[in-house]
Amino acid sequence: MRTICMTAMILVPTAAFAGGYGIPTESPRDLALSQAAVADQSGAEAVFLNTAALAGHDGVNVSVGGELLLNETEWSQSDDSARLRGVNTPPTAAIAYGAKLENGMAWGAGVAFGVSGGGTLEWPTGWAGQEYIQSVKQQVFQIGAGAAFQPLPYLKLGASFLRYQLAEELHLSLNYLDHYGDAGLGLAGGASTFGVAGEFTVPTIPLTIGVTYKHTGDMTLKGDSHFTSVPAGYQAMLHDQRVTEKLTVPSELYIGAAYEVIPDLKIMAAYSFERWSVYTSDTFVGDDGFMAVVPRNYNNAYVIRLAGEWQKTPFLPELALRLGALRSMSSQPSETVSPSLTDGESTAFSVGPVTP
Protein backbone atom coordinates (compact mmCIF):
# COMPACT_ATOMS: atom_id res chain seq x y z
CA MET A 1 0.00 0.00 0.00
CA ARG A 2 1.22 3.51 -0.69
CA THR A 3 0.72 6.67 1.27
CA ILE A 4 0.29 9.87 -0.68
CA CYS A 5 2.68 12.55 0.51
CA MET A 6 1.92 15.26 -2.03
CA THR A 7 -0.01 15.64 -5.24
CA ALA A 8 -0.26 18.97 -6.99
CA MET A 9 -1.43 20.35 -10.30
CA ILE A 10 -0.81 23.82 -11.67
CA LEU A 11 -3.31 25.05 -14.27
CA VAL A 12 -2.50 27.88 -16.70
CA PRO A 13 -4.87 29.61 -17.14
CA THR A 14 -7.17 28.68 -14.27
CA ALA A 15 -10.38 28.53 -16.25
CA ALA A 16 -12.49 25.43 -16.84
CA PHE A 17 -10.26 22.38 -17.19
CA ALA A 18 -11.15 20.89 -20.55
CA GLY A 19 -14.53 21.64 -22.06
CA GLY A 20 -17.55 23.20 -20.43
CA TYR A 21 -17.46 22.56 -16.69
CA GLY A 22 -15.05 19.61 -16.53
CA ILE A 23 -12.46 19.53 -13.71
CA PRO A 24 -9.38 17.35 -13.09
CA THR A 25 -9.81 13.88 -11.59
CA GLU A 26 -9.55 13.72 -7.80
CA SER A 27 -7.63 10.41 -7.71
CA PRO A 28 -4.16 11.27 -6.30
CA ARG A 29 -2.22 9.08 -8.76
CA ASP A 30 -4.22 10.17 -11.81
CA LEU A 31 -3.91 13.81 -10.78
CA ALA A 32 -0.13 13.51 -10.36
CA LEU A 33 0.12 11.93 -13.84
CA SER A 34 -2.21 14.51 -15.48
CA GLN A 35 -4.64 11.65 -16.26
CA ALA A 36 -2.13 10.14 -18.70
CA ALA A 37 -2.36 6.67 -17.10
CA VAL A 38 -5.20 5.43 -19.31
CA ALA A 39 -3.12 2.32 -20.09
CA ASP A 40 -1.64 1.90 -16.61
CA GLN A 41 -4.37 1.98 -13.97
CA SER A 42 -3.31 0.37 -10.71
CA GLY A 43 -6.11 0.90 -8.21
CA ALA A 44 -9.84 0.89 -7.59
CA GLU A 45 -10.10 4.32 -9.25
CA ALA A 46 -9.81 2.46 -12.58
CA VAL A 47 -13.64 2.35 -12.49
CA PHE A 48 -13.62 5.84 -14.06
CA LEU A 49 -10.50 6.04 -16.27
CA ASN A 50 -10.17 2.46 -17.56
CA THR A 51 -12.55 -0.13 -16.10
CA ALA A 52 -10.74 -2.97 -17.88
CA ALA A 53 -7.80 -2.62 -15.47
CA LEU A 54 -9.95 -3.89 -12.59
CA ALA A 55 -9.20 -7.42 -13.82
CA GLY A 56 -5.58 -7.02 -12.74
CA HIS A 57 -6.33 -6.71 -9.02
CA ASP A 58 -5.95 -9.54 -6.50
CA GLY A 59 -8.08 -9.02 -3.40
CA VAL A 60 -9.57 -5.80 -2.06
CA ASN A 61 -8.29 -2.39 -3.12
CA VAL A 62 -9.48 0.91 -1.62
CA SER A 63 -8.69 4.39 -2.92
CA VAL A 64 -9.64 7.65 -1.19
CA GLY A 65 -8.49 11.09 -2.28
CA GLY A 66 -9.29 14.75 -2.52
CA GLU A 67 -8.41 17.79 -4.54
CA LEU A 68 -7.86 21.45 -3.74
CA LEU A 69 -8.77 23.78 -6.60
CA LEU A 70 -7.68 27.40 -6.34
CA ASN A 71 -9.23 29.26 -9.26
CA GLU A 72 -8.88 32.87 -10.28
CA THR A 73 -11.04 34.48 -12.96
CA GLU A 74 -10.90 38.00 -14.39
CA TRP A 75 -13.58 39.52 -16.59
CA SER A 76 -13.19 42.76 -18.56
CA GLN A 77 -16.01 44.69 -20.17
CA SER A 78 -15.47 48.13 -21.69
CA ASP A 79 -13.64 50.14 -19.02
CA ASP A 80 -14.76 47.93 -16.16
CA SER A 81 -13.20 44.72 -14.90
CA ALA A 82 -13.68 42.35 -12.00
CA ARG A 83 -11.63 39.56 -10.52
CA LEU A 84 -12.61 36.75 -8.20
CA ARG A 85 -10.96 33.81 -6.52
CA GLY A 86 -12.63 30.54 -5.62
CA VAL A 87 -11.72 27.49 -3.54
CA ASN A 88 -13.25 24.05 -4.17
CA THR A 89 -12.42 20.71 -2.54
CA PRO A 90 -13.98 17.83 -4.53
CA PRO A 91 -13.48 14.33 -2.99
CA THR A 92 -13.30 10.84 -4.47
CA ALA A 93 -13.52 7.28 -3.16
CA ALA A 94 -13.42 3.83 -4.77
CA ILE A 95 -13.35 0.19 -3.72
CA ALA A 96 -12.69 -2.86 -5.89
CA TYR A 97 -12.14 -6.58 -5.62
CA GLY A 98 -10.39 -8.90 -8.06
CA ALA A 99 -9.19 -12.48 -8.30
CA LYS A 100 -6.96 -14.61 -10.52
CA LEU A 101 -8.40 -17.52 -12.48
CA GLU A 102 -6.85 -20.48 -14.25
CA ASN A 103 -5.08 -20.25 -17.63
CA GLY A 104 -4.00 -16.63 -17.16
CA MET A 105 -7.54 -15.32 -16.74
CA ALA A 106 -8.78 -12.87 -14.07
CA TRP A 107 -11.77 -10.80 -13.13
CA GLY A 108 -12.53 -7.70 -11.07
CA ALA A 109 -15.34 -5.36 -10.08
CA GLY A 110 -15.63 -2.06 -8.25
CA VAL A 111 -17.63 1.04 -7.42
CA ALA A 112 -16.47 4.65 -7.28
CA PHE A 113 -17.68 8.14 -6.43
CA GLY A 114 -16.26 11.47 -7.56
CA VAL A 115 -16.97 14.96 -8.86
CA SER A 116 -16.58 15.20 -12.64
CA GLY A 117 -17.41 18.88 -13.05
CA GLY A 118 -18.66 22.11 -11.61
CA GLY A 119 -17.42 25.23 -9.96
CA THR A 120 -18.27 28.23 -7.83
CA LEU A 121 -18.24 31.84 -9.04
CA GLU A 122 -19.38 34.71 -6.83
CA TRP A 123 -18.84 38.08 -8.48
CA PRO A 124 -18.58 41.30 -6.43
CA THR A 125 -21.86 42.97 -5.52
CA GLY A 126 -22.81 45.60 -8.08
CA TRP A 127 -20.11 44.66 -10.59
CA ALA A 128 -20.50 45.71 -14.25
CA GLY A 129 -21.62 42.28 -15.44
CA GLN A 130 -24.23 41.63 -12.76
CA GLU A 131 -26.97 41.45 -15.40
CA TYR A 132 -25.12 38.47 -16.97
CA ILE A 133 -24.48 36.67 -13.70
CA GLN A 134 -23.95 37.43 -10.04
CA SER A 135 -23.11 33.96 -8.74
CA VAL A 136 -22.93 30.34 -9.91
CA LYS A 137 -22.66 27.19 -7.84
CA GLN A 138 -22.60 23.98 -9.86
CA GLN A 139 -21.72 20.43 -8.83
CA VAL A 140 -21.68 17.38 -11.12
CA PHE A 141 -21.32 14.18 -9.09
CA GLN A 142 -20.30 10.95 -10.78
CA ILE A 143 -21.09 7.46 -9.47
CA GLY A 144 -19.74 4.42 -11.28
CA ALA A 145 -19.95 0.65 -10.99
CA GLY A 146 -17.86 -1.53 -13.28
CA ALA A 147 -16.64 -5.04 -13.96
CA ALA A 148 -13.78 -6.43 -16.00
CA PHE A 149 -12.65 -9.79 -17.36
CA GLN A 150 -9.26 -10.94 -18.61
CA PRO A 151 -9.82 -13.76 -21.14
CA LEU A 152 -6.17 -13.81 -22.24
CA PRO A 153 -2.94 -12.87 -20.45
CA TYR A 154 -2.52 -9.84 -22.72
CA LEU A 155 -6.16 -8.69 -23.02
CA LYS A 156 -8.59 -7.13 -20.54
CA LEU A 157 -12.14 -5.94 -21.23
CA GLY A 158 -14.42 -3.85 -19.03
CA ALA A 159 -17.81 -2.18 -18.88
CA SER A 160 -19.35 0.29 -16.45
CA PHE A 161 -22.61 1.89 -15.43
CA LEU A 162 -22.31 5.65 -14.85
CA ARG A 163 -24.67 7.97 -13.06
CA TYR A 164 -24.29 11.74 -13.23
CA GLN A 165 -26.14 13.86 -10.66
CA LEU A 166 -26.09 17.64 -11.06
CA ALA A 167 -27.14 20.44 -8.74
CA GLU A 168 -26.82 24.12 -9.58
CA GLU A 169 -27.84 27.51 -8.24
CA LEU A 170 -27.54 30.74 -10.21
CA HIS A 171 -28.26 34.38 -9.41
CA LEU A 172 -28.25 37.46 -11.63
CA SER A 173 -29.42 41.04 -11.27
CA LEU A 174 -32.35 42.42 -13.26
CA ASN A 175 -32.24 46.12 -14.12
CA TYR A 176 -35.62 47.81 -13.63
CA LEU A 177 -34.09 51.23 -14.46
CA ASP A 178 -34.74 52.74 -11.03
CA HIS A 179 -33.45 49.71 -9.09
CA TYR A 180 -32.08 46.17 -9.38
CA GLY A 181 -33.79 42.95 -8.38
CA ASP A 182 -32.44 39.43 -7.92
CA ALA A 183 -33.37 36.47 -10.12
CA GLY A 184 -32.40 33.12 -8.65
CA LEU A 185 -32.59 29.64 -10.14
CA GLY A 186 -32.06 26.37 -8.29
CA LEU A 187 -32.18 23.11 -10.25
CA ALA A 188 -31.16 19.47 -9.91
CA GLY A 189 -31.34 16.30 -12.01
CA GLY A 190 -29.40 13.33 -13.28
CA ALA A 191 -28.62 11.02 -16.16
CA SER A 192 -27.56 7.39 -16.47
CA THR A 193 -25.22 6.12 -19.16
CA PHE A 194 -22.49 3.54 -19.74
CA GLY A 195 -18.83 3.11 -20.54
CA VAL A 196 -16.69 0.43 -22.19
CA ALA A 197 -12.94 -0.07 -21.93
CA GLY A 198 -10.10 -2.26 -23.07
CA GLU A 199 -6.45 -2.85 -22.24
CA PHE A 200 -3.99 -4.68 -24.50
CA THR A 201 -0.41 -5.60 -23.58
CA VAL A 202 1.92 -6.28 -26.50
CA PRO A 203 3.34 -9.78 -25.82
CA THR A 204 6.89 -9.11 -27.04
CA ILE A 205 7.58 -5.63 -25.66
CA PRO A 206 6.68 -3.82 -22.39
CA LEU A 207 3.99 -1.72 -24.06
CA THR A 208 0.34 -1.46 -23.00
CA ILE A 209 -2.49 0.21 -24.92
CA GLY A 210 -5.66 1.40 -23.16
CA VAL A 211 -8.97 2.67 -24.54
CA THR A 212 -12.01 4.05 -22.70
CA TYR A 213 -15.31 5.34 -24.09
CA LYS A 214 -18.04 7.03 -22.04
CA HIS A 215 -21.38 7.56 -23.74
CA THR A 216 -23.46 10.74 -23.75
CA GLY A 217 -25.83 11.35 -20.85
CA ASP A 218 -28.95 13.47 -21.34
CA MET A 219 -30.53 14.96 -18.25
CA THR A 220 -33.52 17.13 -17.45
CA LEU A 221 -32.98 19.49 -14.53
CA LYS A 222 -35.97 20.63 -12.51
CA GLY A 223 -36.25 23.28 -9.85
CA ASP A 224 -37.58 26.68 -8.92
CA SER A 225 -37.08 30.32 -9.81
CA HIS A 226 -37.31 33.14 -7.28
CA PHE A 227 -37.53 36.86 -8.03
CA THR A 228 -37.18 39.79 -5.65
CA SER A 229 -38.04 43.51 -5.92
CA VAL A 230 -40.13 43.02 -9.07
CA PRO A 231 -42.17 46.11 -10.10
CA ALA A 232 -45.92 45.60 -10.49
CA GLY A 233 -45.74 45.88 -14.28
CA TYR A 234 -43.42 42.84 -14.54
CA GLN A 235 -44.98 40.57 -11.94
CA ALA A 236 -47.23 38.81 -14.47
CA MET A 237 -44.13 37.23 -16.05
CA LEU A 238 -41.44 37.47 -13.36
CA HIS A 239 -42.85 35.62 -10.40
CA ASP A 240 -41.80 32.45 -8.59
CA GLN A 241 -42.45 29.36 -10.71
CA ARG A 242 -41.13 25.90 -11.57
CA VAL A 243 -38.26 25.82 -14.08
CA THR A 244 -36.70 23.08 -16.24
CA GLU A 245 -33.48 22.85 -18.25
CA LYS A 246 -32.17 20.14 -20.57
CA LEU A 247 -28.45 19.45 -20.30
CA THR A 248 -26.13 16.96 -21.99
CA VAL A 249 -23.02 15.40 -20.49
CA PRO A 250 -20.86 14.80 -23.60
CA SER A 251 -19.36 11.53 -24.74
CA GLU A 252 -15.63 11.06 -24.07
CA LEU A 253 -12.98 8.92 -25.75
CA TYR A 254 -9.58 8.22 -24.17
CA ILE A 255 -6.69 6.44 -25.90
CA GLY A 256 -3.45 5.89 -24.03
CA ALA A 257 -0.16 4.01 -24.02
CA ALA A 258 2.32 3.07 -21.29
CA TYR A 259 5.89 1.89 -21.94
CA GLU A 260 8.34 0.51 -19.37
CA VAL A 261 11.66 2.07 -20.35
CA ILE A 262 13.61 0.25 -17.65
CA PRO A 263 12.43 -1.64 -14.56
CA ASP A 264 10.44 0.70 -12.28
CA LEU A 265 10.36 3.54 -14.83
CA LYS A 266 7.36 4.06 -17.13
CA ILE A 267 6.43 6.78 -19.54
CA MET A 268 2.80 7.35 -20.53
CA ALA A 269 0.88 9.29 -23.14
CA ALA A 270 -2.83 9.80 -23.72
CA TYR A 271 -5.21 11.57 -26.06
CA SER A 272 -8.80 12.37 -25.21
CA PHE A 273 -11.73 13.74 -27.21
CA GLU A 274 -14.72 15.36 -25.50
CA ARG A 275 -17.77 16.11 -27.65
CA TRP A 276 -18.72 19.47 -26.15
CA SER A 277 -20.31 20.65 -29.41
CA VAL A 278 -23.57 19.15 -28.08
CA TYR A 279 -23.62 21.94 -25.48
CA THR A 280 -25.24 24.75 -27.48
CA SER A 281 -27.04 26.74 -24.77
CA ASP A 282 -28.41 26.90 -21.27
CA THR A 283 -32.14 27.33 -21.78
CA PHE A 284 -34.30 27.77 -18.68
CA VAL A 285 -38.05 27.40 -19.25
CA GLY A 286 -40.59 28.33 -16.60
CA ASP A 287 -44.04 26.78 -16.37
CA ASP A 288 -45.74 30.19 -16.27
CA GLY A 289 -44.10 32.47 -18.84
CA PHE A 290 -40.46 32.80 -17.74
CA MET A 291 -37.69 31.88 -20.22
CA ALA A 292 -33.97 32.64 -20.31
CA VAL A 293 -31.46 31.51 -22.96
CA VAL A 294 -27.67 31.72 -22.52
CA PRO A 295 -25.87 30.75 -25.77
CA ARG A 296 -22.82 28.49 -25.34
CA ASN A 297 -21.97 26.83 -28.70
CA TYR A 298 -18.94 25.08 -27.26
CA ASN A 299 -16.30 23.56 -29.48
CA ASN A 300 -15.19 19.96 -29.04
CA ALA A 301 -12.22 19.57 -26.71
CA TYR A 302 -8.98 17.70 -27.40
CA VAL A 303 -6.45 16.98 -24.67
CA ILE A 304 -2.92 15.61 -25.04
CA ARG A 305 -1.19 14.24 -21.93
CA LEU A 306 2.35 13.05 -21.14
CA ALA A 307 3.65 11.60 -17.86
CA GLY A 308 6.36 9.57 -16.23
CA GLU A 309 6.41 7.40 -13.11
CA TRP A 310 9.60 6.33 -11.35
CA GLN A 311 8.67 3.67 -8.80
CA LYS A 312 12.08 3.56 -7.09
CA THR A 313 14.29 6.62 -7.51
CA PRO A 314 18.04 5.86 -7.36
CA PHE A 315 18.74 8.65 -4.87
CA LEU A 316 16.02 7.40 -2.46
CA PRO A 317 14.54 3.96 -3.24
CA GLU A 318 11.76 4.54 -0.70
CA LEU A 319 10.51 7.47 -2.77
CA ALA A 320 8.58 7.21 -6.03
CA LEU A 321 8.17 10.19 -8.31
CA ARG A 322 5.35 11.08 -10.73
CA LEU A 323 5.40 13.93 -13.22
CA GLY A 324 2.77 14.92 -15.76
CA ALA A 325 1.78 17.62 -18.22
CA LEU A 326 -1.14 18.27 -20.53
CA ARG A 327 -2.37 20.65 -23.18
CA SER A 328 -6.11 21.18 -23.57
CA MET A 329 -7.48 22.63 -26.82
CA SER A 330 -10.97 23.75 -25.90
CA SER A 331 -11.40 27.38 -26.85
CA GLN A 332 -14.91 28.78 -26.65
CA PRO A 333 -16.28 31.00 -29.46
CA SER A 334 -15.66 34.62 -28.50
CA GLU A 335 -19.23 35.63 -29.30
CA THR A 336 -20.64 33.32 -26.61
CA VAL A 337 -18.05 33.79 -23.86
CA SER A 338 -19.92 34.55 -20.65
CA PRO A 339 -18.80 35.26 -17.06
CA SER A 340 -21.33 32.65 -15.94
CA LEU A 341 -19.24 29.73 -17.24
CA THR A 342 -15.86 30.40 -18.80
CA ASP A 343 -13.63 28.07 -20.76
CA GLY A 344 -10.38 28.32 -22.64
CA GLU A 345 -7.29 26.52 -23.83
CA SER A 346 -5.07 25.53 -20.93
CA THR A 347 -1.74 23.98 -20.00
CA ALA A 348 -1.19 22.00 -16.81
CA PHE A 349 1.77 20.51 -14.96
CA SER A 350 1.60 18.03 -12.10
CA VAL A 351 3.88 16.32 -9.59
CA GLY A 352 3.25 13.65 -7.00
CA PRO A 353 6.02 12.05 -4.91
CA VAL A 354 4.91 9.11 -2.75
CA THR A 355 6.47 6.75 -0.22
CA PRO A 356 5.76 2.99 -0.18
**pLDDT per position in the chain (356 positions), as tens?**
333 333 333 322 222 333 446 777 888 889 889 999 999 998 899 999 999 999 988 899 999 988 887 777 777 766 667 777 777 788 899 999 999 998 889 999 999 999 988 777 888 888 888 888 888 888 899 999 999 999 999 999 999 999 999 999 999 999 998 899 999 999 999 999 999 999 999 999 999 999 999 999 999 999 999 999 999 988 888 899 999 999 888 899 999 999 999 988 999 999 999 998 888 888 889 998 888 888 888 888 899 999 999 987 777 777 788 999 999 887 777 777 777 766 677 888 888 866 55
Its domain, for residue 296, covers 3-355
Tell me the whole-structure pTM to 2 decimals.
Answer: 0.86
Give the integer Cα–Cα distance in Å for 256 and 300: 19
Q: Among candidates 99, 95, 97, which has minimal Cα distance to 114?
A: 95
CATH of residue 305's domain is: 2.40.160.60
The three state secondary structure string of 299-331 is CCEEEEEEEEEECCECCECCCEEEEEEEEEECC
Q: What is the pLDDT of residue 320?
A: 80
> Residue 270: beta bridge partners?
256, 305
Q: What is the pLDDT of residue 343?
A: 63
Q: What is the pLDDT of residue 342?
A: 62
In the chain, the largest separation of any two C-alpha atoms, in whole Å, equals: 79
Domain count, the chain: 1
